Amino acid sequence: MTRVVRASLLLTTLLFLAAACGGEEKAKTSPNPAPNFSLVSLEGKKYSLKDFKGKVLLLDFWATWCGPCKMEVPHLKDLHSRYKDKGLRVVGVALDQQGEKVVRPFVEKHEIPFLSLIGTNEIVQAYGNIRAIPTTFLIDKKGNIQKVYRGYTEKAVFEEDIKKLL
């Protein structure tokens, strides 16, 4: 294989991964009911949307291999810590194909304190056929989607929107 072909393949692969991990996109307003779901946590407990009724929910779709997702972990940990007693629930929905096998070690290594659920194709479809990660939904206390963030998002952006709903 020539050097040019290899470089072209590498560039194509990098562009594909960048698209898969998402790019910066501003939050979008989308006030409509969040789809229900039934997902299992790393502890084996089932959760659904109704378990978070009365709370502001930051529902983050991510994967262990996604660079922008990893960059958001400290933001999400801090938001969880600051606002959990004020009515915020941060919930990560891991979309890794290997599921718990790779998610559990990642969560433990990074000391992620918020709830981690294992995603399914059904939730990906229900939430608009998610095509880029991270994709994060801000859901109000009544279960309505107030904002959708696609790609890496700064903590200050999340925080400003969360404060309005608490």
Q: What is the pLDDT of residue 23?
A: 43
Domains in the chain, number: 1
CA trace torsion 100, 103, 109, 112 (10° rounding)? -110
**pLDDT over 70 (residue 48):** yes
Q: In the numeric block, which tokens belong to residue 30?
A: 């989308």
Strand partners, 136: 60, 149
**What CATH number is attached to the domain comprising 55?**
3.40.30.10
Which of 77, 78, 85, 153 shows the shortest CA–CA distance to 112?
Answer: 77
Among the listed ranges 20-34, 55-69, 79-93, 147-161, which one has the minimum average pLDDT value? 20-34
User: What is the mean pLDDT of the segment spanning 26-36?
Assistant: 71
pLDDT at 59: 98
Please give the model's pTM, rounded to 2 decimal places.
0.82
Q: Using CA atoms, how far apart are residues 22 and 14, in angstroms rounded to an integer?
A: 12
Query: Which residue range is the domain that position 160 belongs to?
Result: 3-165
- Binned at pLDDT 50, 70 and 90, residue 72 comes out as very high
What is the predicted pLDDT for the residue at 9?
Answer: 34
Cα–Cα distance between 103 and 100 in angstroms, integer? 5
2 pLDDT tier (thresholds 50, 70, 90): very low
